[in-house]
Amino acid sequence: PVTIRRSDYAPPAFLVDTVDLDVHLDPAATEVRARLALRRNPAAAPDAPLLLDGDGLTLLEARLDGAVLAAGRLQFGPDGSLTIADPPAAGLLETTVRIAPEKNTALSGLYTSGGNFYTQCEAEGFRRITFFPDRPDVMSRYTVTIHADRGLCPVMLSNGNPDGSGHGEGNTHWVRWVDPHPKPSYLFALVAGELVNVHDQFVTKSGRLVSLNIWVRRGDEDRCGHAMDSLKRSMAWDEEVFGLEYDLDVFNIAAVSDFNMGAMENKGLNVFNTKYVLASPESATDGDWQGIETVIAHEYFHNWTGNRVTCRDWFQLSLKEGLTVFRDQEFSADMGSRAVKRIRDVRGLRAAQFPEDAGPMAHPVRPDSYIEIDNFYTPTVYQKGAEVVRLIHTRIGPAAFRRGMDLYIARNDNQAVTIEDFVSAMQDASGVDLSFFMGWYDQAGTPEVTAEGRYDPEARRYVLTLRQQTPPTPGQPEKKPLPIPLAMGLLGPDGAEMPTRLAGENAAQADTRILILDNAEKSFTFEEVPAPPVPSLLRGFSAPVRLKGVPRDRLRFLAVHDTDPFVRWESGQQYAASVMLEMVAAQQRGEALGFDPALAEAVTNTLAASEADPAFAAEALVLPGEGFLADQMEIADPVAIHVVRRHLRAEIGRRCAAALRATYDALAESGPYRIDGRSIGRRALRNACLAYLAAAGETALAKAQFDAATNMTDSLAALSLLSDTTGPEREQALAAFHARWRGDDLVLDKWFSIQAMAARDDVIDQVRALYAHPDFDLKNPNRARSLIGAFASGNPARFHDASGEGYRFLADAVIALDPINGSIAARLVGPLGQWRRQSAARGALMRRELQRVLDTPALSKGTFEKASKALL
Ligand code: HT7
Ligand code: ZN
């Protein structure tokens, strides 16, 4: 497979001003006629060839300016592309191709799902529909006419605004869509079939009436309310916060149950995984509810950050993804609790991105090379990319950031641009030199920051010395220091916030300030400090770094006193992590585990203060996860970590039983089920209490909750606790759940996941049995992830079973899935790549399975890239 390098970028040889598509839909043989108004790009080499990407297309006819192109002028590449010899400087190229959507199991290009037609073109799916320069820097105006049998496809949608419809031959009909905005091919979409719509409308601030429609299968209409509500709130928020208004007369969303990712921001026709559209209290958890709000907002916000201003090439992916994640994070923070949102985002970053940055696939936010671009839709590009945007926001402040966004859009509207264009708009709008910040885009790895303070009582002076270093990553052995904005404050011995004045400043600052650590080491001198302070660092997680070496006594102090909720939560977590890692070492030595009473004290205190903010209390109660702990160890020991965490949960459950039970009972819901921030927080807290009580043996309480639950959050929380047990309640509950929900794919996914993540010894056998279950379907990405992904990523202790059976199962599944859907197979193989962080024995077993994957004939290039890089 070929490696594509960022440094090789060359402008496209030809531009396409307009695209006229006629699509005759048929599951087995769809015909696509494309008319492309092409012209040579003045910015490209004058003799560059006219190369059209193609993948799996059967060419029926090609004409140039009306004349059939002779076979001698058509050269097909081994990858399916088409080169036209002796191209004119400008002309109309017409091609007709045939494709088979019903055979398309990769779900890229045009495919069928449940008899309907859907497309997915990002990143390189358009070339599976027609011959085209399928790269984001070719932007064109599209007119799309869809033809199909009326019975098969009563509804036919594409991008832009509707522009007529009519009868065709026989029982066929046609619908035309015109998108007035130029767009890259990856934003093309077509959806057709038997669908019904939930309709609403939105009036933009300048008075445009927008018709909003969510298209689903009949029967799902009553589960679209939350998605629609989230859409309207997103539209209003983007106007209010960024002044960005919607720019078409219709905004369509189509939900599909076979989809490779969460959703897709196609211009005017978003396509969504049903998981991020459909919700009812009985069938969706609070987490699902929040996920829908986030993903709806994310895709909607892409309309400006991604669609109107797009990426020049795929190396710039974070230009749209990092910025849009930042925007959806801010939206969700404004819709609910900012502090809790930040905690959850940081938890997610550490769970997925930190390990990626320390593993074989570590890459900069702007990668230097790839084999398969689908492999770079990663936590680094998305979540770390959002953190880098946040760094800029923190550095220049919200007002300058807003001016920067205005400038970025004004300068780059309807263009395909680079990350430099974004940073330079921020720089020009703020007057702050941001050139040094580009290092965050180009250097992989997570910086480690340490702090050392010295207090001089005589001079009433406190000197804080900060240091940074970044461990090497593949291909980047040497690391430069990065500019790290460190939000901080100083607390007095009584826990009160001290005003801070740096040497050279005239006045003290009352609250959080930002220090910029822009060297390997830098000292900051604070004057007039009346007593030895306790530094509170990295408030709000102001940079994606690991802050190391904070002593335990300080963590305990900060967990109680800090004014910054993030640091309060973080200090509690770091304290618990440090205790747990010590226990892991004891477990490895075969010693008794013991118990630190400070942990029980912290739980009791958190419960006592939980009424003020139940959601925050729930976050504070949850012990650091197994993955987070493994990530802190040079060589992880997943089984020992699991034993320690289970032991601690049981100990806390026993020691704090009274307080946990009192809170659990006090939070029992009376009255109608409500989905608002406070109700969600109360349920989260109540279920956190139940988890401790169940760990201490209160299985009956979990079963009682399961039996009485009227919403999915409580039902699933109880079921997941029961699934860890061995008694008859477990089998009864799992059977009852299956019987009730077997007709609902999204809920059945949860049933698979819960069993795959269970802590039982025999889980590998169960996972193999579930793989053979009649409801398991490897072709459906949600179902594949719900079993294979949940087991390999969500059950570290069993996945890393010393027998190597967990690894063998994953490799078997990847090998079976790869010819069906290489993109999902490549994603699932990831956990095997973490072998360097495991013991030599486990590492050898993991490598053996990676090699087995790599030895598979005709492996997809995505799976090849992941497995081969993991073995390097
Ligand atoms: N921009 C979208 C990316 C996406 C995607 C990428 C590769 C293969 C399938 C895909 N489906 C959607 C999603 C987003 O970030 O908004
Ligand atoms: Zn996105």
Q: Which ligand sits nearest to residue 271's alpha carbon? A: 1
67: pLDDT strictly greater than 90: yes
Q: What are phi and psi of 621, to 5 degrees?
A: -75, -30
**What's the confidence (pLDDT) of residue 26?**
98
d(C-alpha 820, C-alpha 750), whole Å: 23
Residues 6+ apart with CB under 8 A from 225: 198
Local structure of 434: helix, strand or coil: coil
Give the rounded distance of the alpha carbon of 178 from its chain centre: 31
- Residue 80: Cβ-neighbour burial (10 angstroms; 0-12, 13-18, 19+): middle
CA angle 562, 565, 567 (to 5 degrees): 60
- Token pair of 551 as six digits: 């002593």
Q: Taking the alpha carbons of 144, 96, 818, 837 in that order, is the dihedral positive or negative? A: negative
Q: Residue 569: which residues within 8 A CB-CB, separation 6 or more?
A: 339, 343, 559, 616, 619, 620
Maximal CA-CA distance, the chain: 96
| Model confidence at 670: pLDDT above 90 | no
Question: Count of alpha carbons within 13 Å of 120, Cβ hemisphere only?
Answer: 24
Structure tokens at 788: 């294979």
CA distance 11 to 719: 55
**Side chain identity at 664, as an amino acid letter?**
Y
Give the ligand whose atoms come closest to the C-alpha of residue 377: 1
pLDDT in tens, 741-770: 999 999 999 999 999 999 999 999 999 999
CA 362 / ligand 2 centre spacing (Å) = 20
Alpha carbons 836 and 708: distance in angstroms, whole number: 46
- Residue 776, Cα to own-chain centre: how many angstroms? 24
- CA angle (449, 453, 459) in 5-degree steps: 150
Query: What is the distance between the alpha carbons of residues 8 and 118, in angstroms, rounded to a whole number?
Result: 33
Atom 15 of ligand 1, nearest CA residue: 321
Closest CA to 381 of 520, 189, 237, 544: 544
If you measure from the C-alpha of residue 265 to the centroid of ligand 1, how many angstroms do you get, rounded to a whole number? Answer: 8
Length of the chain: 872
Taking the C-alpha atoms of 862, 864, 868 and 870 in order, what is their torsion angle to the nearest 10 degrees?
50
155's enclosing H/E stretch is: strand 155-158
Kindly state the tokens that stand for 178.
Answer: 């015109």
Summarised one tens digit per residue, pLDDT across range 93-127 is 999 999 999 999 999 999 999 999 999 999 999 99
The CA distance from 727 to 76, in Å, is 63
Cβ(507)–Cβ(559) below 8 Å: no
Q: What are phi and psi of 740, to 5 degrees?
A: -70, -35
Q: Which residue CA neighbors atom 2 of ligand 1 most closely?
A: 264
Distance 707 CA to ligand 1 centre (A): 39
pLDDT per position as a tens digit, 816-841: 999 999 999 999 999 999 999 999 99
Tokens of 2: 């070929």
> How far apart are the CA of 298 and the centre of ligand 2, in A?
6
Element (H, E) at 608: helix 597-608
Q: Which pLDDT band holds residue 577 (cuts at 50, 70, 90)?
A: very high
Q: How far is CA 40 from CA 12, 44, 49, 133, in A?
A: 9, 8, 10, 12
Residue 551 half-sphere exposure, CB side, CA atoms within 13 Å?
6
- pLDDT per position as a tens digit, 138-176: 999 999 999 999 999 999 999 999 999 999 999 999 999
| Amino acid at the residue 196 | V
Neighbouring C-beta atoms of residue 199, cutoff 10 Å: 11
What's the gap in Å between 679 CA and the centre of ligand 1? 32
| pLDDT tens for each residue of 436-452 | 999 999 999 999 999 99
Closest-lying ligand to the alpha carbon of 187? 1
Pocket of ligand 1 (CB under 6 A): 120, 122-123, 260-261, 263-265, 298-299, 302, 321, 374, 377, 823
Q: Which of 127, 260, 264, 378 to mutate to test the pocket of ligand 1 (most atoms within 8 A of CB)?
A: 264
pLDDT in the model for residue 672: 86
Q: List all residues 6 or more positions away from 585 whose beta carbon is below 8 Å from its beta carbon.
A: none
Model confidence over 841-870: pLDDT tens digits? 999 999 999 999 999 999 999 999 999 999
Mean pLDDT for the stretch of residues 725-739: 96
Measured CA to CA, the distance from residue 712 to residue 288 in angstroms comes to 10
Helix ranges (DSSP H) in 444-564: 552-561
| Residue to mutate (ligand 1; options 119, 120, 122, 320; most atoms within 8 A of CB) | 122
Residue 266 Cα, ligand 1 centroid: separation in angstroms? 10
For tokens 């118990």, name the residue: 595
Atom of ligand 1 nearest to the CA of 265: 16
Name the H helices within 96-158. Answer: none
All structural domains of the chain: 309-442 (1.10.390.10), 448-543 (2.60.40.1840), 549-697 (1.25.50.10), 742-872 (1.25.50.10)
Q: Establish whether the linkage from the previous residue to 123 is cis, with ω within 30° of 0.
A: yes
Return the pLDDT at 100.
Answer: 99
Which residue in 384, 336, 285, 314 sits closest to 719, CA to CA? 285
Q: Which of 192, 175, 155 is nearest to 25 (CA)?
A: 192
pLDDT digits 0-9 by tens, 22-34 = 999 999 999 999 9
Is the Cβ–Cβ distance between 647 and 593 less than 8 Å?
A: yes
* ipTM score: 0.99
pLDDT for residue 83: 98
Pick the closest to residue 16 from 45, 47, 51, 60 (CA basis): 51
Per DSSP, the three-state class of 641 is: helix
Locate the ligand 1 atom nearest the alpha carbon of residue 823 and give its number.
Answer: 8
In the prediction, which pLDDT does 671 show? 83
Q: State both tokens at 301.
A: 């916000």
SS in 3 state form for 291-338?
Answer: HHHHHHHHHHHCCCECCCEEECCHHHHHHHHHHHHHHHHHHHHHHCCH
Q: How far is CA 735 from CA 527, 708, 728, 752, in A?
A: 67, 16, 11, 12
Contact 19, 142 (CB under 8 A): yes
In percent, the amount of the chain with pLDDT more than 90 equals: 99
Token reading at 592: 């008794």
- What's the CA gap between 110 and 99, in Å, rounded? 8
Which residue owns the Cα nearest ligand 1 atom 13? Answer: 264
Q: What is the pLDDT of residue 722?
A: 98
Q: Point out the ligand 1 atom lying closest to the alpha carbon of residue 299.
A: 16
pTM of the model: 0.98
User: 144 by DSSP, 3-state: which?
Assistant: strand
Confirm if 31 and 97 have CB atoms less than 8 A apart: yes
Q: Which residue has the tokens 């950031």?
A: 401
**pLDDT score for 85:** 97
Query: Is residue 693 helix, strand or coil?
Result: helix
Q: What is the atom index within ligand 1 of the atom nearest the CA of 261?
A: 11
Buried b (16+ CB within 10 A) or exposed e, 827-837: bbbbbbbbbeb
Query: What band does 301 get if pLDDT is binned at 50, 70 and 90?
Result: very high
Token reading at 433: 């030199």
Per DSSP, the three-state class of 646 is helix
Report how far residue 240's alpha carbon sits from residue 232's, in angstroms, rounded to the nearest whole number: 12
Name the residue with the closest Cα to ligand 1, atom 14: 264
Please give the structure tokens belonging to residue 398. 């919200």
Q: Indicate the average pLDDT of the chain.
A: 98
What's at 749, amino acid-wise? D
Q: Which strand (E) or helix (H) includes residue 807?
A: helix 805-817
Q: DSSP assignment of 735-800, as one string?
A: HHHHHHHTT-HHHHHHHHHHHHT---TTHHHHHHHHHTSTT--TTSHHHHIIIIIHHHHH-HHHHT
Q: What are phi and psi of 182, to 5 degrees?
A: -65, 140
**If pLDDT is split at 50, 70 and 90, which confidence band does 9 have?**
very high
DSSP structure string for 224-251: -HHHHHHHHHHHHHHHHHH-----SSEE
What are the CA-CA distances from residue 771 to residues 203, 777, 789, 797, 807 (Å)? 48, 8, 12, 19, 15
Q: For residue 376, which ligand has an atom nearest its CA?
A: 1
- Give the Å distance between the CA of 389 and the centre of ligand 1: 20
Decide: 795 and 756 in contact? Cβ < 8 Å.
yes
The Cα 197–Cα 42 span in angstroms is: 45
Which residues are catalytically annotated?
Answer: 299
Give nearest CA residue, ligand 1 atom 12: 264
Give me the phi and psi of 263, to 5 degrees please: -170, 175
DSSP reduced 3-state for 818: coil
Rounded CA-CA distance 790/358 in Å is: 21
Characterize the bridge pairing of strands 513-517 and 309-311.
unpaired
Region 216-233: mean pLDDT is: 98
Single-letter code of the amino acid located at 818:
D
